[in-house]
Structure 1
Amino acid sequence: MQDILTCAMGLDIHRDVIVACLAKGELGTDPEIEIRSFSTLIPEMWKLRDWVLEAECRYVAMESTGIYWQPIYEMLEPCFDGQISILVVNARHMKNVPGRKTDMRDAQWIATLLRAGLLKGSFIPDKTFRELRHLTRYRKSIVRDITAQKNRIDKFLQSSGFRFTAFLSDAFGASGRNIIRHLMEYGNISREALDRCLKTQTRKRIDEILIALNGSLSEHQRGFLRMIFGHLEALEQHRHTVEDAITKEITKHEEALSLLCSIPGIDVTAAAAIIAEIGTDMSAFPDSQHICSWAGLSPGNNESAGKRKSAHINKGNPYLKSMLCEVGWVISGKRSLYLSGWYWRIKQRKGAKRATIALARKLLALIYTMLKTGSPYNEDCFEIRRKQSERKRASRMVNELQKLGYFVVAPG
C-alpha cells in the first residue's frame, strides 16, 4: 500500500472503550505508531479531542458501530474550525485477518488503511438534517406506539363482549370514540345514547351496532378502559407536538419541500422524513444508482460459474426505505398516474412485494434528479411513454388475435 497522508488516526469504538491509533510520519517511510485507550465518558472523550488537536491530525476514521460512533463524531466535527475529515466506514469494508484480531490491531489497521487512502466514508448529512432526523424517526416510533395502543383497546373491548369495531370503518373515529367514552362513563349503552354517539352514515347500521354493544362493564373494567384510552389520547397529543416541531424545522428547506410535495402521494410528513434522511445536497452521490444502493433498494450480485442466482436487496437505510414503500403503496391506488400503471405492470410479472420495492427505487431516482436539477415532478413528461406502451400492448393483442384467425386492423 502506498501512503498518501502524513498523519491519520483510526478509532476502534466499543460501548465502554475507545482504542485510538495515531500513524504519523513522512511519506515513503514507516510511520510512528502511538496507541491510546479512552473510556466513553465525556471527560475521556475530551482527552481524545485534545489529542487530535495536539497532534494536528485532520484525518480520522472510525467504524460505524451501532450508535457508539455518534457522540465521538459530534465532538470531533468542530475541530480545526470544521476543517477536518472524519470518515465513518462500514465495518465490512475493512475487516482484519481472522486469528490476529485485537482492539489495538483493529485501530492500527484502520489508521493504516486511512493513511493509504483506501477507505470510503459513509454518507453523513449535515447537523441540521441529523437534528431533523431525531424528530422524524421519533415520530415514526410514536405512530407505532399509537397503533399498538389502539390494538390493545380493541382487544380489551373484544374480550369484554363489545364487538362494534366490526361495523365501523374506523373504530377510533368520531363515532367510535363517542361510544368508548360513553362506556367509560356508564358501562353500557342504550339505543338513544348510541344514536347520539353515532355520526353521519353509521346511523344506518344502528340496530347491528346495538346488538354488538349488548353488554356491560364492571367498575374495574371501566377504570381500566379509562386508563388505556387516556394513554392513547396522551400519545396522540404528543404526536401533534412532535409534528409541530417537524413543521417548524422543515420550513427551513422550503424549496426542497415544494419539490417533493409535487409528487402525487407525498405530503409534508413524508417529504420531511425523506429530506431528513438524504438532505438536499445530492453531490455526495455520483448518480441515482449510488443513492438507491445506499438506501437498500438495489439487489445484490450473486453470480458463480456464469450462472446468476437470486440476490436479495441489501439492508441500507430502513427509515428511508419504509417511507418510500408507503408512498409507493399510496401511488399504486391512483390508477390515472403513470407510476401507478408502471407498478401494476411490474406486479403482474414479479408480484406485489417486488413491485413495491421497484416503485420505491424509481421514486428515489426521481427525487434524486429533482433535488439535483431543481425541477418539480411533471406527469406530462410520462405521457409519451404511456402512449408508446399502450400502442405496444395493442399491437401485441392484435398479433395474438391474428394468430387465432381473427381479422383485426392494427391500430395507428
Structure 2
Amino acid sequence: MSHQLPVLDPLATFVDVGSEHMHVSIGGNPPRVFGTVTSQLNALRDWLLDQGVHSVAMEATGVYWLPLFNVLEQGGLVVRMINGRQTRNLPGRKTDMADSQWGATLHMHGLLRAGFVPPADTRRLQDYLRLRADHVALAGSCIQLMQKAFERMNIKLHDVISSLAGSSGMAVARAIADGERSPEVLLQLCSAQIRARKEQAVVESLCGTWEEEHLFALRHAIRSWDHYQQLIADCDARIAAILPPPDQTAPPPPPPGKERKARPAGQKPGGANAPDIANLREILAHMCGTDLTRLPALTHYSVLQLVGEVGTDLSAWPTEKHFVSWAGLAPRSKDSGKRKSNAKAKCNRTGRLFCMVAQSLARSKDMALGGFYRRLRGRRGGLIATKAVARKLATWVWRLMVKGEDYVEKGLAHYAAQVQKSKEAALRRLAKELGQTLVPAG
C-alpha cells in the first residue's frame, strides 16, 4: 500500500527572496518572477490575492524580506518566516526557480514550521533600539581614539581613572583639547572622590608631550563622541514617543536589594548606556504586566531591550522550555543510531542578551544565582555557567509574564544551605551503597 502525504493547502505559496527578484511559486507550480521595487511588491500581493492565496512562506534572507513581509501582512495574508535549513534542496538542483517550487511543495504538505516574528509595534521599537546600539558601539570607538591620542602623548589618565567616558575623564579631555596643559588645573576638573584618593597619580599621569598632530586627533575624537551622543539622544526621544504613557495609578514597588546604594550625581539608572527616558521602569512594568527588574541583574535598559526583541506577549511559546530553546539557551542532543553527542545551540539576540545580563552576577555578593554561577564556573567553566544562569533568567521571565508568578530572592545563604543538603543526601546514598554508616563529627 502506498502512502502519500496529505495536501493541506493546494494554494500554499513560497517566495524565494532576493535583493533584485522575488520568485513566487503557488502549490509547487512554475514560479512567477517579480521585482523588488514597491510597485512590483504591491503587484505581487495583488496577484496572490487574485489567485485566492491566504498563506505565504519565505526565508528570512538578510533584510530583503522585511519590505515584502510588511506588504503581504498589510494585505491580510498569513506570512510564515521559516529557517532555511527546512528547505534544503537536493544537490545539483540549487536555483532560485527550483527553490521556490520546492519550498511551495513543502508548505503545501504542512512541512514548514513558522518562526517567531514580533508584531509591527515591537518591530518599530526594535529598529530604534538596534540603531541606538549601533550608535553606542561607534561612540565606544571614539573613546578608543581618545585613548590612542593620549597614549601617543604619553598621558596615562585612562590608566588611573576607571573610565575616560565619565564626567571627570571627558572634562579633562575637553580642557586639554581647548589648550589647558597644567596638571594641577586639570586635576580640579575631576570629581572630589578622584582628587581625594588619586591626586598624585592623576597629576603624574597628565604630564605629556603635547604634539600637535595627536591633539588634532583628540579634538576629532571628542567631536565624533559628541556627534554620536546627540544621535543617541535623538533615538531616546523616538523611543519615548512610541512607548505608552506610564500608569500613574499603581506604580510598581522598588525591587528589593537593588536600591541600597544611592547613585552618584549624574549617573543614569540601568547603566552608563541606558536611555534617558522619564518613568521608564513604570512604563515597562505597565507594558509587561509585571516588574521584571525584580529579577537579579535585570535593569530598566535590559528589560527594554528584551521587550524590543520579543514584545510583551510570550504566549507564542507554549512552555518555558520552548522559549528557552528558541533563545538558544537549552542543551541539545544529537542522536543517530548508536551515536549520541551534544549539538551546539547558537544563541539569537535574545539569548545573547540574557547571557550578557547573567555575566553581571559573577561578582554579586548576596544573590542565589550569583552563588550558582560561581559554583558551576568552578566545575564546568565560565561559558557554561553563563549560559546556565541565562537559562534560569529566561525561564523566570517567561513565568512572570505568562503565568504571573512572583519571584522571591532567597539570598546566598539559603542557596548555600540547599547545596549543603544536597551534598549530605548524596553522601548518605553513597554510604548506603557501600554498606557504611555515617557518623556526624563532634
* Bucket of the pairwise TM-score, normalised by the shorter protein: 0.7 to 0.9
Q: 1:27-46 residue pairs with structure 2 within 5 A?
A: 33-46=29-42
In the alignment, is the contact (CA less than 8 A) between 2:328 and 2:351 conserved in 1? Answer: yes
Alignment map for 1:98-109 (pairs within 5 Å): 98-109=91-102
Q: Tell whether the 8 Å contact from 1:187 to 1:222 is kept in structure 2 after alignment.
A: no
1:320 aligns with 2:334: no
Residue among 145, 148, 157 paired with 2:141: 148
5 Å matches for 1:8-27? 8-23=12-27
Alpha-carbon distance in structure 2 between the residues aligned to 1:208 and 1:34: 75
Aligned 8 A contact 1:13 1:68 in 2: yes
- For the residues of structure 1 that align with 2:114 and 2:337, how far apart are their CA atoms? 32
Residue 372 in structure 1 maps to residue 402 in structure 2 = yes
1:2-401 to 2 correspondences below 5 Å: 2-23=6-27, 33-79=29-75, 82=76, 84-186=77-179, 188-191=181-184, 193-203=185-195, 204-251=197-244, 254-256=286-288, 258-304=290-336, 306-314=338-346, 316-317=347-348, 319-380=349-410, 387-393=417-423
Aligned partners of 2:145 and 2:218 also within 8 Å: no
Q: Secondary structure at the match of 2:32?
A: strand
Say which SS state the counterpart of residue 321 (structure 2) adopts.
helix
Q: Secondary structure at the match of 1:369?
A: helix
- Where 1:309 maps in the other structure, the secondary structure is strand
Q: What is the alpha-carbon distance in structure 2 between the residues aligned to residue 250 and residue 390 of structure 1?
A: 46
What is the count of residue pairs matched by the alignment? 393
| Superposed displacement of residue 85, structure 1 | 1.6
Residue aligned with 2:172, SS: helix
Q: Distance in 1 between matches of 2:47 and 2:135?
A: 41
Residues of 2 paired with 1:257 and 1:150: CA distance? Answer: 38
CA contact (8 A) 1:129 1:279 kept: yes
Q: Is the 8 A contact 1:130 1:276 kept in 2?
A: yes
Checking the alignment, whether the CA contact within 8 Å between 2:11 and 2:108 is kept in structure 1 is: yes
Tell me, in whole angstroms, the C-alpha distance in 1 between the residues paired with 2:425 and 2:322: 37
Matches of 1:303 and 1:119, distance apart in 2: 22
Output the TM-score relative to the length of structure 2: 0.81
Distance (whole Å) between structure 2 residues aligned to residue 395 and residue 2 of structure 1: 54
1:108–1:266 CA distance, 2 compared to 1 (3 A): same
Q: CA deviation at 1:305?
A: 5.5
CA RMSD of aligned residues (A): 2.8
Pick the structure with more helix per residue: 1
SS of 1:332's equivalent? coil
CA pair 324-158 structure 1, distance change in 2 beyond 3 A: same
Distance 1:282 1:155 in 2: 45
Tell me, in whole angstroms, the C-alpha distance in 1 between the residues paired with 2:386 and 2:181: 45
Moved more, 260-269 or 241-250: 241-250
- Note closer, same or farther for the CA distance 1:167–1:49 as it changes in structure 2 (3 Å cut): same
Whole-Å separation in 2 of the counterparts to 1:220 and 1:256? 52
2:132 alignment partner AA: R
For 1:247 and 1:292, the matched residues in 2 are separated by 29
Cα separation, 1, equivalents of 2:331 and 2:429: 35
**Consecutive unaligned residues in structure 1, runs of 5 or more:** 24-30, 401-405
Residue in structure 2 matched with residue 28 of structure 1 by the alignment? none
Note if contact 1:257-1:272 (Cα within 8 Å) is conserved in structure 2. no
Calculate the TM-score normalised by the size of structure 1: 0.87
Q: Secondary structure at the match of 1:62?
A: strand
Structure 2: distance between partners of 1:381 and 1:256: 25
Q: Structure 2: where are the runs of 5+ without partners? A: 246-283, 431-437
Contact kept? 1:58, 1:85, Cα under 8 Å: yes
In 2: Cα distance, 1:247 partner to 1:392 partner: 48
- Distance change >3 Å, CA 349–CA 250, structure 1 → 2: farther
